[in-house]
Amino acid sequence: MAKHELVLGQNPDLALGQSHDLVIGQSQGLGISHRHGLGLGHAHEDDLGLSQGHEHSLVSGHHHDSRLVLGHHHHDSHDEEHDRDHDYSSELALGQNHVAHLLTSHNHELVLSDNHDLTLAETHDLAVEPNLEQLSIEQGHELALQPALDISQSQLVVSPVLQTRIIVNANHELHVGQEFPDVNSCRRALRCAAIACHFEIQTVKSDKTRFTAKCAAEGCPWRIHAARLPGVPTFTIRTINENHTCIGINHLGHQQASVQWVASSVEERLRENPQYKPKEILEEIHRVHGITLSYKQAWRGKERIMSAVRGSFEEGYRLLPEYCEQIKRTNPGSIASVYGNQEDNCFKRLFVSYYASIHGFVHACRPLIGLDRTLLKSKYLGTLLLATGFDGDGALFPLAFGIVDEESDDNWIWFLSELHALLENNTENMPRLTILSDRQKGIVEGVDFNFPTAFHGFCMHHLSESFRKEFPHHANLVNLLWEAAHALTVIDFEAKILEIEEISQEAAYWIRRIPPRLWATAYFEGTRYGHLTANIAESLNSWLLEASGLPIVQMMECIRRQLMTWFNERREMSMQWSTILVSSAERRVSEAIERAQGYQVGRANEAEFEVVSAHEGTNIVDIRNRCCLCRGWQLYGLPCAHGVSALLFCRQNVHRYAESCFTVATYRKTYSQTIHPIPDRSLWKELLEGPQDQLDIIINPPKSLRPPGRPRKKRVRAEDRGRVKRVVHCSRCNQTGHFRTTCSAPL
C-alpha cells in the first residue's frame, strides 16, 4: 500500500482509564500511565494491521505533513480511494524535526514499553485482518500530537489545529544573497514570509547596517542575518538557517500581523472600493492568511490607507483657505468663505454657495427655502447646515452649505445672515420668501432679523415626529394631524382637529398650543406650493451620510460632485421633454381636467365663473386673478379642477394659467449653469493668480473631538437633544401632573 492512514472507525474505542492523559512529551515518546492499555477494535485489540512488505515511518520531518484522522465510518484496509476522501476535520500536525520512526515489516508488532516509548517487538506477527477496523499510516508522512492530549472518560479532546508552514507565494521565499532596497523592505519581506509560513520572529539586532532575527519559539535554531552593502542602502541576506525544531504557532493570531501589514494587505482593495468594511477585511485576511485579527486592527488598517488616499482630517482644515480660492476661481460668482477663532485660528465656520445654484434659485426656482442640519461623523465632529430650494418639478435644489464647529443660536444667525447677503447681492428686489424649518430658537431669531418679511412655517416632518413621540400609542393621530395640515379650508381643518379630540383630548390640547398659522395650510399666509416639509437631511441621506465622515475638504468635494452630476443629468433630461409643463405639473393638470368633466359652469362675466358640483357644492372662479374659492389654485400655483372647468368653458389654454416656475422653459433655466470641477490639490498653488496673502492663514482643527465608540448612524434632531419632559395637563380639573383618564379630583 503506497499510502496509509491512521483511521479509527465509529465502533472501535480508544479507551484509557479515567482521569489519565495520553501525552507525548519533549522526547517524542508516547507515555501512558502504568496499568492502562491501549485498546483498538473489537476482536483484535492488540493487533495493528498494516500491509506487508512496506516501510511505514512515523516521522516529523521538514517536508512532511502527517495527519491523525478519526474516521466516521468503517473502512476496508484495501480501499485506498475511500481513504483519500476521508474527512480531515480532526487533523493533528507536528512541527519540523520531531522524529519518531515506526519501522514495520512482516513480523513486527507495535507495543508500549514500560518507559512509555513507542517501539516495535519481533514476537508477534502483524497481518491484515479483514475484521479489524482499519488503522493505517500514510507512507512518508508525520503523525504528531500536541504535548498534552487529554483523553478523559472515553472522550478524545483534540486541541486547536496547528497552522502548517507552507509558503503561499514564491515571493515570500528567503535565500542567501537576496537583496532589498533598504532595511525597511527587508523587514517587510521577512514579516510576510513569517506570516506565510506560520511562525513568529523575534528581532535580535536592527540598525542602519545590520538586521538579525530568529524564530520566536524557544530553542528553535531558525535564524537570519542581513547586512547593508558598502556605499549603498541595499540590504542583502548573508546567512540563514532554514531548519525549524518548533511546532509553529498554535494560535490563530500572529505577532507580525501589525496594523501596517493589514493596511498593505488590503490597500489595493480599499483604493478600488473605499466602502470596504473592517468586517470584510477581517474575513478576507482570515480566508487568505489563516489569521484572526481584532476589529480594531482592521479598522486602524483601513484608516491608515484612507488617510494616505484622501488626506488626514488635520490637513483638510489647513487646506480650507486654498480650497475656497479654488472654488471662486473655477466657479466665478460663487461664494466660499472660511472663518477661524481669533485666539488660536481653530476652525469655526465655512460657507459655500455655487454660482450655478445662486443663478438657478434667483431666476427660476420658487421663492421657498427649507432649512435643516445634519451632524458630521468625522474625527472633529461639527454640523452641516443646509439651505435648499425646490425646482419646478418638486425636487430639492441645494442653495447654500454651512459647516460650523457646533450647532448654536449664534451659528444659525450667522448662516442666515450669509444667506441674506447672498440673495441681496444677486437680485435687485429680493422676493418675499417662505421659509420652512423646525423653528428652533436660533433659526427663528435669524429669520426674524435677516428676513423680517418672510413667512416662517414649521416643517411638518419635524412637527409630526415630535407629536408621534408625545403620543406613541395612537398611530391614527399622526395621520389625522397630516390631514389637518393639508386641509385647504378652515372648516376642513377644524373638522380634523375635532376628530383628534374625540380620540385624545391631550393630543388636541398639544396641537392647539402651536399656532395653526405656522403649519396648517388653511391658516398659513405664505405660499408653499404644496410643500409642507423641509427634511433635507433625510432626503439626501443616501449619499450625505457617507460624506459626513470624510475630512472637511473631501466632504465638500463629495457634495460638489453630487451637485455637478445632478445639474448635468437634469439639464439633459429636460432637453428631452416636449410638453409645456414639467412632468409633475402635467400630471396634476391632467387629473384636474379629468375631474372637471362632471362640473357645471356658469359664466358671470369675462373673468368670473360659477362652478357647481353635486358633491362639492358651488365654487366661484376668477381666471383673471387666478383664484378659486376652494383655494387650491392659489396655494399650489396650478389651476384646480374648478379653474380648469372654467378655462375649458371659455376655450382657454389651461397650461398658460400655471405659474411660470412649472414650465419646462423655466426648468431648463434652473439648471442652465454648470458647476465646474476643481483640479487636484497638487496643482492649486501654481493655478492661483494675484495676491495670496489670505492663503498664509492656517486654520487649525476645532477642539471638539469625536467621543469613543461607534458613531451614530441616525441623525439626532436638535429638539430631541436636551428636551425637557413635557408637563401633562388634565382637561377635567385643569391641574398638571396627570391626564383626564386618571383624574380623581372631586368636582
pLDDT value at residue 573 = 95
* DSSP codes of every residue in 454-470: SEEEE-HHHHHHHHHHH
pLDDT value at residue 727 = 67
Helix runs in 33-130, H state only: 80-84
pLDDT value at residue 41 = 38
pLDDT digits 0-9 by tens, 473-515: 777 899 999 999 999 999 999 999 999 999 999 999 999 999 9
Query: Residue 368: which of 431, 416, 278 has the closest Cα?
Result: 431
pLDDT digits 0-9 by tens, 619-653: 999 999 999 999 999 999 999 999 999 999 999 99
Cβ–Cβ under 8 Å, residues 58 and 137: yes
pLDDT value at residue 172 = 64
Grid coordinates given for 226: 542581513
Q: Which of 273-282, 522-531, 632-641 has the lowest mean pLDDT?
A: 273-282
As a whole number, mean pLDDT of residues 351-359 equals 96
pLDDT value at residue 709 = 55
Q: Where are the domains of the chain?
A: 178-241, 259-310, 313-459+533-566, 460-524, 577-671
Q: Which of 85-94, 209-218, 439-448 has the lowest mean pLDDT?
A: 85-94
Give 410's pLDDT tier (boundaries 50, 70, 90). Answer: very high
Amino acid at 515: P
Grid coordinates given for 6: 491512521
Stronger pLDDT, 379 or 110, i.e. the higher one: 379
As a whole number, mean pLDDT of residues 418-424 equals 94
As a whole number, mean pLDDT of residues 335-362 equals 94
pLDDT value at residue 419 = 95
Grid coordinates given for 5: 492512514
The angle formed by the CA atoms of residues 190, 195 and 201, to the nearest 5 degrees, is 55
What mean pLDDT value characterizes the chain? 75
Stronger pLDDT, 265 or 62, i.e. the higher one: 265
pLDDT value at residue 64 = 38
| Percent over 70 (pLDDT), the chain | 71
pLDDT greater than 60 at residue 723: no
| Percent over 90 (pLDDT), the chain | 39
pLDDT greater than 60 at residue 455: yes
pLDDT value at residue 694 = 54
pLDDT digits 0-9 by tens, 8-52: 333 434 333 333 433 333 333 333 333 333 333 333 433 333 333
Distance between CA 482 and CA 477 in Å, rounded?
9
Strand ranges in 144-267 using DSSP code E only, listed in sequence order: 149-152, 155-156, 179-180, 201-206, 210-215, 223-228, 235-241
pLDDT digits 0-9 by tens, 661-720: 999 999 999 999 999 999 988 888 766 665 555 556 789 998 866 555 555 545 444 444
pLDDT value at residue 707 = 54
Distance between CA 220 and CA 216 in Å, rounded?
8
pLDDT greater than 50 at residue 347: yes
Query: Residue 1: which of 106, 138, 153, 111 has the closest Cα?
Result: 138
As a whole number, mean pLDDT of residues 520-528 equals 91
pLDDT greater than 50 at residue 68: no
Give 296's pLDDT tier (boundaries 50, 70, 90). Answer: confident
Q: How far is CA 733 from CA 614, 662, 741, in A?
A: 46, 53, 11
pLDDT value at residue 552 = 93
Stronger pLDDT, 413 or 147, i.e. the higher one: 413
Q: Is 407 left (phi over 0), alpha (psi -120 to 50) or beta?
A: beta
pLDDT digits 0-9 by tens, 120-176: 334 334 333 333 333 333 333 333 334 443 434 434 443 443 443 444 444 567 888
Query: Residue 635: which of 423, 434, 429 has the closest Cα?
Result: 434
pLDDT value at residue 24 = 35
Chain position carrying cell 533598504 = 182
pLDDT value at residue 284 = 84
Grid coordinates given for 588: 396634476
Burial pattern 407-429, b for ≥16 Cβ within 10 A else e, equals beeebbbbbbebbbebbeebeee
Residues facing 403 on adjacent strands: 350, 384
DSSP tag of 107: T
Which residues, other chains included, contact 364 with Cβ-Cβ below 8 Å and sequence gap of 6+?
A: 391, 392, 661, 666, 667, 669, 670
Amino acid at 675: I
Strand ranges in 576-686 using DSSP code E only, listed in sequence order: 600-603, 608-613, 617-622, 627-628
pLDDT value at residue 62 = 39
pLDDT value at residue 22 = 35
Cβ–Cβ under 8 Å, residues 611 and 603: no
Grid coordinates given for 736: 398638571
Residues facing 203 on adjacent strands: 213
As a whole number, mean pLDDT of residues 61-86 equals 38
